[in-house]
């Protein structure tokens, strides 16, 4: 299975689905946005902005547009003043949550070992 995936990406690097998906959802803002929408359900822009610590309004706007373009979330605009816009995960977006949580669990489990390895590397590199 691993060799098959590797071979597919080597033969057509521009159309490698794993690379394409990881480039999009592998950034911290996309992952956090998907997780927050999964945890909290439908949210307005300012609610998301308050939940995602450290994200700028511009970066949240860009992230939401990319996730919407990929079909991972919906944007519903209400015709009212002031404008009301809500974001929610699509079924495709919901299907991404389980793999993201597996990655989250793996990272939490292995972070002590990763940090120790980084520290060893830095000590050796400093010599």
Give the fold, CATH level 3, of 2-126.
Arc Repressor Mutant, subunit A (1.10.10)
3-57 per-position pLDDT tens digit: 666 666 666 666 677 777 788 778 889 999 999 999 999 999 999 999 999 999 9
- Percent of the chain clearing pLDDT 90 (strictly above): 67
Structural domain boundaries in the chain: 2-126
Number of residues that make up the chain:
127
> 75 in helix, strand or coil?
strand
Whether residue 65 is predicted with pLDDT greater than 80 in this model: the reply is yes
Would you say 39 and 46 are in contact if contact means Cβ atoms under 8 Å apart?
no
What is the DSSP code string of 4-70? HHHHHHHH-GGG-HHHHHHHHHSSHHHHHHHHHHHHH-SEEHHHHHHHSTT--HHHHHHHHHHHHHT
- Using CA of residue 10, residue 14, residue 16, residue 18, what is the dihedral sign? positive
pLDDT confidence tier of residue 104, bands split at 50, 70 and 90: confident
């Amino acid at each position: 299975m691993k060799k098959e995936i590797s071979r597919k990406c080597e033969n057509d690097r521009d159309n490698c689905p794993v690379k394409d998906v990881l480039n999009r959802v592998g950034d911290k803002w996309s992952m956090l946005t998907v997780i927050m929408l999964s945890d909290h359900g439908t949210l307005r822009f300012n609610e998301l902005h308050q939940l995602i610590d450290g994200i700028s309004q511009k970066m949240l706007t860009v992230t939401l547009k990319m996730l919407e373009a990929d079909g991972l979330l919906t944007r519903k605009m209400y015709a009212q003043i002031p404008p009301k816009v809500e974001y929610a995960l699509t079924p495709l977006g919901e299907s991404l949550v389980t793999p993201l949580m597996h990655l989250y669990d793996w990272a939490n489990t292995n972070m002590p070992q990763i940090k120790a390895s980084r520290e060893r590397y830095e000590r050796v590199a400093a010599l």
